[in-house]
Every structure is written in structure tokens, then in C-alpha cells.
Amino acid sequence: MRINDLLLAETMVMDLKATDKTGAFKETIDKLYDAGRITDRDEFLKGILAREEQTTTGLGDGIAIPHAKNAAVKRPTIVFARSKPGVDYQAMDGKPVHLLFMIAVPDTASDTHLQALASLSRYLLKDGFSDALMEAQTPEDVRQLFADEGEALSDEDATQQTELESPDVPLVVAVTACTTGIAHTYMAEESLKKQATEMGVRIRVETNGASGVGNQLTDAEIAEAKGVIVAADKKVAMDRFDGKHLVNQPVAEGIRHPEELIDEALDGSAPVYHAKDGNGGATTTSSSQEHSGSMTGASIGKAFYRHLMSGVSNMLPFVIGGGIAIALAFLIDQTMGVPHSQLANLGTYHPAAAFFKQIGATAFNFMLPVLAGYIAYSIAEKPGLVVGFLAGALAANGFNINNVGLDPNNMPVPSGFLGALVGGFVAGGVVLLLKKALAKLPKSLDGIKSILFYPVFGVLITGFLMLLINIPMSAINTGLNNFLDSMNGTNAILLGALLGGMMAIDMGGPINKAAYVFATGTLAQTVSTGGSSVMASVMAGGMVPPLAIFVATMLFKNKFGKKNREAGMTNIVMGLSFITEGAIPFAAADPIRSIPSFAIGAAVTGGLVGMSGIKLLAPHGGIFVVALTNSPWMYLLYIAIGALASGIIYGIVKVPDEDAAA
């Protein structure tokens, strides 16, 4: 595709005024509208923002390619916008964007935007091309650069095709894929191709994009290849690479470090991939050590964390939706009034409250099966899902070997979050063992492994193991709940302070997640009593760091540059929304001073919340669910105290920015 067919002089912004992403979008969309290429500014902006919510289109190195197929677009168009100061775009590398290409395509078009993205990738990855665009004086200069570079690329392709088609030149095959299948997929493709050319290596790159599989690798190419590169953020067909040295990395690595990936694929140091069966089970083997299942290439600790986060991330929507619905039931009864003698029925006393309680409880009951199911799915892929769901359900009802047809008074005791967590890992392990045990069955039985053997044997084995696991896990769960119920005074303050402080240590990292996962685990046992004080401490503590940044930038303006002062305003929104990650740029810039400052305020807030016994049923939502606590005003006050404390400490110890006001 010729870029100049879509890039018009009247749709260029040579000096972009906006300094933030949304402002840049509006300014470039105005160009589209004025040129008659779109019919509705707001409608097209919605499409651009919806695409941006999936993942940033800021690709790094100062380049962004926002794009949308939209009913408001009349004709396919590319808008070129340049900002010499840079736009705060939340790009992949965290750096400002200087060159922005907005692609607008009618919703009736097929894959025009994908072709445009692929073509743009080739130009922008060419050495010196971005620099030339930054120096262009007029829109005509920009169009001429694309015209000249297009001819150079065509000549280069012809030369390279002749030089690199010799069978003596080593061949590498690759697959690129990102979650949305658009920009990053094609940027990685072009980056790998460019690097392979510079290294004198033949390469064939298959793209798993939004329009389907492009340049699909043939069996002959795979057989000839010395190594395979999979630069992907989603699943791709892997069995065809059985027996090949395979490098498996995120798609961003294909863009950023193509030389390292190609070197690893060629030198034989990459693990050998082995497809065990047709159901996704696989191992990779290095020359010195063999790893099985999804533990390949990662330490046990990292693998555990990855599988756990898979379960937690899939569980949270059920907890959030169900928890907020249940909290609304309590709020309705509290607002409408419940006689003192009926307080035990709080949440179900009025019909409206009972309605919300029933809906919320139904969603909430999926929490443990989904947690265990997706832990097992992460370990053993699809065959692990049904077995994991079973483990979670048995953890929820607490059924164990002591009450199987024996004393009817020996009622099951749920093993709760901990039982489901252990059950998920057990279920995944059972399926991996079944895959290994059944690997030597005749090929003719491969088709029924995943629909008969794995679920039947997996359910029976895991079910029996859960009858045993539930006994100690139920005891631990009961002990933990009794401890939490008995917390008052110093104990409650200390636990709240510890968990609140943990939320501010790495702001979205393992320590933060450990506190958050523990808190969500307490929700299942506190539904009937109006919520969890642990959850309340954790959410309040997590809101403090970004709010502290806002406080610091307001009280100590002379220590912050213009960009950081603007980021401080953004952080008040993130803090109120319980998005702790808003503080990460400040923490990364000066961790020695910032992290202790944030942790102190978060711990103060968590301790105050624990001391007051404030309860919360919603695991997320920030200020939007404060009304669902049992003491909203006190909750807000404690958050403000922590944010003020952290903000003042951070402001005092902070070293002034280089561009801070004198």
C-alpha cells in the first residue's frame, strides 16, 4: 500500500499544540472533520478511545499510531501530527510521543487499516526516517519523504531477495501476535525482518492479526528453519514446531530486541519445543535440564505467581459484581430502615434488598470455582478448566472424607479461598500428570483425550484429593476467620497498618497483589456480616499513594516541574478510583524517598480503618463504593489523613526536579 494514497496535505498537523493524549486526539480529529473525511467528531473520538482502552497505541521511540474503523469515516485517511515538545501518551516505553499517525477507516472497509499499519511500520522502522519527519518543514516535504522512501524500500527488497535466497543462508521462522492483532503484530514483523536483513539471515514471519493469519508458515519452511521465534501476547498454533529450538517472548520483545531473539534462535541455546499431544500440552527441553508443562522457562516462584494471578484476574469480576450487588442490598435496608429485632435479616428484609442480595450472592458464589478453575487452566490449559472448577466448588462446600455417608451431624466446613487456591494447583497438576500418563496411547485416541479421558479421570482423582485437602484447609480457614472476627484494638490496628502499607510498597507488584488477594479472600466469609474490615484497610491503603502525589504537587509546587505538576492532577482521579499504579512513575524516579513516604501514609490509613472496624464488601471501586461501607465519612477522613501525611513527607524529602520553578 502507498502511504501517500491516504496521507493528505490538508490532514497534517505540523505543530501539535496538545500536550496530553485526549487533547491530541481532538486536535487531529478536527483536521479530519475540516477536510471532510469524517461526519461526526464525537463518534470517531469514541472509536479511537475504545481502541486505546484495549492497549496503548504508543509504540515507543516517540511514535504512536491510533486507529479506528468507524461509521463516521467517509474515506480511509491517515492524519500526520508532529509535536516537538512531545505528548504525554502513556506509550509502551513511558516516553513522550512526537510523531502521531491517526488512521481513520470506514466500518465497511475490510482490512485497509491493517494494510496501512503494516506499511507504516516498514517506513518508521527505517533508520533515520523518523528523524527526517521531525525536520520536515511542510506537508509536501512529508509526502515527498514517503514517496522517496517507498522507492528505496522497493529497490532494497529486490536486492535483498536476491542476496538472501541462497540455501546456504540460515533460515529463521517467526510468528508475531498481540492481544488486539493490529499495531504491535506488524511492528514486530517489520522489526524482525529488518534485523534479519542486517544480520544476513533469511526470515519468514507469520502474523496472527485481526484479519486472520498472514504469510502462514509452510511445513517445508518450518522443517528447514534453524530456529523458531514466537513473539506473541496470545496463543498461537504451536504443535507444528515440535522438535525445533524455540524462543518464546512477548510481542514487545520482537519490536525492541529482535537481534537477541534471532541470535538465540540460531545458536541452539533456545529450548527445544515438544508438542505432547493435540490439546496444547507441551514441554521444552534445553541441553542441560528438562522442564515440564507450563513451568518451562520460569522459576517455580514466577510460575506460581503467574498461575495465581490468572485465577485472581478471572475471579475479580465475579467478586466485584457480586460484592457490590450484595453491598447495595445492605445499603437499601439501612436506608429504608430495619427493626432492631430483624437486624439478623439485614440485606434481605425489604423485597428490593432481597432482590439485590440474591443476584449478588449468585454471582459471588462463582468466586471460588472460577479462581481454582483458571489457576488450573493456566497450568494445564483447557483440560484443566473443568477439574479446577470442581476443586473450587468442593472448597466452597467443604465436603470432605469425614462426612461422606457418616455422621449426619458432622456438617461440611468450607475451606474457602485457601482451599480453592490449593485445589486449583492440585487440579492443574493432576491434568499434567494425566497428559504424561496418557501420552503413549495410540494416535487414533488423541481426539477423545480432552473430551473423555482428561475430564473423567481428572474429576475423579481431583475430587478424591479434595476430600482430603478440605480437612486441613477448612481448619486453617476457620482459624483465620476466628482470628479476624476476634480482632480488636491493637491487633486490628496492626493488621490494617501492615496490609495498608503493603499496598504502597510496589504498587501493583507482588507485595501489593499479596495484600489484595488476601483481602479478597476474606470477603466470602463476611458476606452475612456486612463486609470485611481487611478489604476496607487494603482499598484505603491502595488509594493513598496517588492521592499523596496530588497533595505533594499542590503543597510543594516549587519542587515539581510542569509535567509532574500536571501528573499530580491526574493522580487525584486515579487515587479516588483505587488505581495505585498512578504513583509508579514517581516511585520509579526516586524510590528511596517516595516509597517509604507512601507506605507510611498507607499504613496510617489502614491502621485507622482497622481500629474503627470499618467494613467493605466491594473489592474495588474507590470513592464510587464508599457509600457501601458502614461508615463512609470516617472512611474518607482516614484516607485523607493518610494521603496528607504521605504527601507532606514526600514533599519534604523530595529533591527538586531539574525544571522545577525557582
pTM above 0.85, yes or no: no
Assess whether pLDDT exceeds 50 at residue 48: yes
CA distance 245 to 408: 58
Which residue among the candidates 178, 245, 274, 620 is catalytic per the annotation?
Answer: 178
Per residue in 390-437, pLDDT tens? 999 999 888 888 776 555 566 777 887 788 899 999 999 999 999 888
Name the residue type at position 338.
V
User: 3-state DSSP call for residue 175?
Assistant: strand
Facing residues of 63 across strands?
60, 99
324 pLDDT band, cuts 50/70/90, is confident
312 and 386, same structural domain? yes
φ, ψ for residue 43, nearest 5 deg: -65, -40
Q: What is the pLDDT of residue 109?
A: 57
Assess whether pLDDT exceeds 50 at residue 290: no
Q: Does residue 529 contact residue 327 with C-beta atoms inside 8 Å?
A: no
Looking at per-residue pLDDT, the higher value among 85 and 313 belongs to: 85
CA distance 376 to 388: 5
Looking at per-residue pLDDT, the higher value among 128 and 366 belongs to: 366
Contacts 24+ apart (CB under 8 A), 221-228: 221/171, 221/173, 222/173, 224/171, 225/171, 225/172, 225/173, 226/170, 226/171, 226/172, 226/265, 226/266, 227/172, 227/264, 227/265, 227/266, 227/268, 227/270, 228/172, 228/173, 228/174, 228/175, 228/265, 228/273
Q: Is 67 annotated in the active site? A: yes
Closest CA to 416 of 467, 372, 368, 465: 368
Q: Specify if 354 maps to a domain.
A: yes
Q: What is the pLDDT of residue 1?
A: 54
Sign of torsion over alpha carbons 17, 23, 25, 28: negative
Residues 6+ away with beta carbon under 8 Å from 131: none
Assess whether pLDDT exceeds 70 at residue 301: no
CA distance 19 to 83: 8
Bridge pairing between strands 77-87 and 7-13: parallel
Q: Does residue 251 contact residue 175 with C-beta atoms inside 8 Å?
A: no
φ, ψ for residue 472, nearest 5 deg: -70, -35
543 and 466, same structural domain? no
370 pLDDT band, cuts 50/70/90, is very high
Per residue in 261-271, pLDDT tens? 998 888 877 88
Closest CA to 504 of 589, 552, 575, 418: 575
Q: What is the pLDDT of residue 95?
A: 83
441 and 371, same structural domain? yes
Secondary element (H or E) of residue 483: helix 454-486
CATH of the domain at 269: 3.40.50.2300
25 pLDDT band, cuts 50/70/90, is very high
Q: Specify if 456 maps to a domain.
A: yes
Q: Specify if 646 maps to a domain.
A: yes
Per residue in 497-543, pLDDT tens? 999 999 988 776 667 777 887 888 777 667 667 778 888 999 999 99
581 and 473, same structural domain? no
Q: Specify if 562 maps to a domain.
A: yes
Bridge pairing between strands 282-285 and 272-275: antiparallel
Closest CA to 528 of 326, 295, 271: 326
Q: What is the pLDDT of residue 279?
A: 41
420 and 334, same structural domain? yes
Looking at per-residue pLDDT, the higher value among 360 and 160 belongs to: 360
Q: What is the pLDDT of residue 157?
A: 44
180 pLDDT band, cuts 50/70/90, is low
Farthest-apart Cα atoms in the chain, separation: 89
Q: What is the pLDDT of residue 280?
A: 41
307 and 239, same structural domain? no
444 and 507, same structural domain? no
Q: Does residue 115 contact residue 209 with C-beta atoms inside 8 Å?
A: no
Name the residue type at position 283.
T
Looking at per-residue pLDDT, the higher value among 448 and 248 belongs to: 248
Residues 6+ away with beta carbon under 8 Å from 643: 543, 544, 547, 548, 550, 551, 575, 601, 605
Q: Is 178 annotated in the active site? A: yes
Cα 152–Cα 136–Cα 22 angle in degrees, nearest 5: 110
Closest CA to 622 of 552, 564, 572: 572
CA distance 362 to 544: 32
CA distance 43 to 197: 42
- Please state the domain count of the chain: 4
Q: What is the pLDDT of residue 3?
A: 76
Chain centroid to CA 260: how far? 25
264 and 315, same structural domain? no
491 pLDDT band, cuts 50/70/90, is confident
CA distance 656 to 662: 10
Assess whether pLDDT exceeds 50 at residue 277: no
457 pLDDT band, cuts 50/70/90, is very high
Looking at per-residue pLDDT, the higher value among 321 and 245 belongs to: 245
Question: What is the average pLDDT score of the chain?
Answer: 81
For residue 229 the three cell numbers come to 521465534
Q: Specify if 288 maps to a domain.
A: no
Looking at per-residue pLDDT, the higher value among 247 and 490 belongs to: 247
Burial per residue of 401-430, b for 16 or more beta-carbon CB atoms within 10 angstroms, e otherwise: eebeeeeeeeebbbbbbbbbbbbbbbbbbb
Secondary element (H or E) of residue 272: strand 272-275
186 and 82, same structural domain? no
Query: Residue 204 belongs to what domain range?
Result: 164-275
615 and 584, same structural domain? yes
Assess whether pLDDT exceeds 60 at residue 359: yes
DSSP state string for 297-342: TS-HHHHHHHHHHHHHHHHHHHHHHHHHHHHHHHHHHHHH---GGG
Assess whether pLDDT exceeds 70 at residue 624: yes
Percent of the chain with pLDDT over 90: 22
456 and 436, same structural domain? yes
CATH of the domain at 51: 3.40.930.10
For residue 78 the three cell numbers come to 491517515
Which residue among the candidates 67, 113, 184, 307 is catalytic per the annotation?
Answer: 67
Burial per residue of 454-466, b for 16 or more beta-carbon CB atoms within 10 angstroms, e otherwise: bbebbbebbbebb
CA distance 67 to 183: 9
Q: Specify if 524 maps to a domain.
A: yes
Q: What is the pLDDT of residue 210?
A: 57
Stretch 594-599: mean pLDDT: 92
Contacts 24+ apart (CB under 8 A), 289-293: 292/432, 292/436, 293/379, 293/380, 293/432
497 and 480, same structural domain? no
293 pLDDT band, cuts 50/70/90, is very low
